[in-house]
C-alpha cells in the first residue's frame, strides 16, 4: 500500500490521469485527480458537459483503468485484475438510465447483485423486500419495469444498488431522466438511505440544488477537482 493511504477512507484516488485519442490528437481529460471519501460521507461532483465527470466515475468504479495514478477501495488497491471480483460487493451504482431487466419484476431486479454473487436465499429475498418497502414500493414488488413510472424505476435501481450493503454508492446523474419533483424525491431518498445505512455516496450531478444537499461539493474543472 502506498504511503499516506488511510484505511479510514472507503475510497481514495491519487493523481488519476486519463486521456483519449481522437484521430491524430490526444485529448487529456483528467490531469491528476485526488479524492478521499470517508465512511458515510456524501459528496457531489459537478462540472460542465464534457468536463470528464462520467470518465472519473468509471475510473472510481473500476470500470476503466487510469493512464496513471492509484485507486484504493478501503485499504486495497484497485486494478483491472481485481476490480470485477470486488465491485459487486464493495459498491453500488445508480445511473441516469435505470438499466432494469425488463423481463424481471421489481423484486427480481433488486436481487440481481445477489444472483451475480451466487447467493439468492430467503435472507436475500427478505432484504430485497424490505428495501423496496423503504423506497416506497411495498405494493409494487411484483410489477415489471414497464408497469412502473420513471421515478419508481429509479427507486428500484436505488434498492438494487443497496442490496449488498456496500460501503460506497456511486450515482451518475440519477435524476437526468426524471421531472423536477420526482428528481428531488429520488435525491432525498438516496441521501436518507445513505445516512441510515452509513453508506458513502458520490453523486455526479449538474443540479446545483441537489449538490447542495450533500456534505461536500467538488467541481471538476481543467481535469482536476476543486472545492466549491
Per-residue pLDDT tens for 112-171?
A: 999 998 889 999 999 999 999 999 999 999 999 999 999 999 999 999 999 999 999 999
pLDDT digits (tens, 9 = 90+) for 163-217: 999 999 999 999 999 999 999 999 999 999 999 999 999 999 999 999 999 999 9
Confidence of residue 1 (pLDDT cuts 50, 70, 90): very low
d(CA 158, CA 143): 16
Task: Please name each of the domains of the chain with its CATH number.
Answer: 11-227 (3.40.50.300)
**Dist. CA 154–CA 224, nearest whole Å:** 30
Please calculate the CA angle 174-178-183 and round it to the nearest 5 degrees: 65
Per the listing, cell 459487486 goes with 88
pLDDT in tens, 67-119: 999 999 999 999 988 998 899 999 999 999 999 999 999 999 999 999 998 88
Cβ neighbours for 118, distance < 8 A, ≥ 6 positions apart: none
Task: State pTM to two decimals.
Answer: 0.93
Reported as a single tens digit per residue, the pLDDT across 97-107 is 999 999 999 99
Amino acid at each position: 500500500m502506498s504511503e499516506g493511504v488511510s484505511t479510514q477512507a472507503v475510497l481514495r484516488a491519487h493523481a488519476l490521469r486519463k486521456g483519449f485519442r481522437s484521430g491524430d490528437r490526444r485529448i487529456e481529460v483528467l490531469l491528476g485527480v485526488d479524492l478521499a471519501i470517508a465512511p458515510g460521507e456524501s459528496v457531489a461532483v459537478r462540472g460542465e458537459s464534457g468536463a470528464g465527470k462520467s470518465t472519473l466515475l468509471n475510473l472510481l468504479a473500476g470500470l476503466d483503468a487510469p493512464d496513471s495514478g492509484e485507486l484504493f477501495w478501503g485499504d486495497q488497491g484497485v486494478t483491472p485484475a481485481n476490480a470485477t471480483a470486488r465491485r459487486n460487493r464493495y459498491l453500488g451504482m445508480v445511473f441516469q438510465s435505470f438499466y432494469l431487466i425488463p423481463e424481471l419484476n421489481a423484486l427480481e431486479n433488486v436481487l440481481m447483485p445477489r444472483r451475480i454473487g451466487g447467493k439468492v436465499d430467503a435472507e436475500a429475498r427478505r432484504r430485497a423486500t424490505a428495501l423496496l418497502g423503504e423506497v416506497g414500493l411495498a405494493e409494487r414488488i411484483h410489477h415489471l419495469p414497464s408497469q412502473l413510472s420513471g421515478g419508481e424505476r429509479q427507486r428500484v435501481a436505488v434498492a438494487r444498488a443497496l442490496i449488498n450493503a456496500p460501503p460506497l454508492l456511486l450515482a451518475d446523474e440519477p435524476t437526468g431522466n426524471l421531472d423536477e419533483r420526482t428528481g428531488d424525491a429520488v435525491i432525498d431518498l438516496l441521501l436518507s438511505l445513505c445516512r441510515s445505512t452509513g453508506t458513502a455516496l458520490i453523486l455526479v450531478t449538474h443540479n446545483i440544488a441537489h449538490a447542495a444537499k450533500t456534505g461536500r461539493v467538488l467541481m471538476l474543472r481543467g481535469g482536476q477537482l476543486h472545492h466549491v
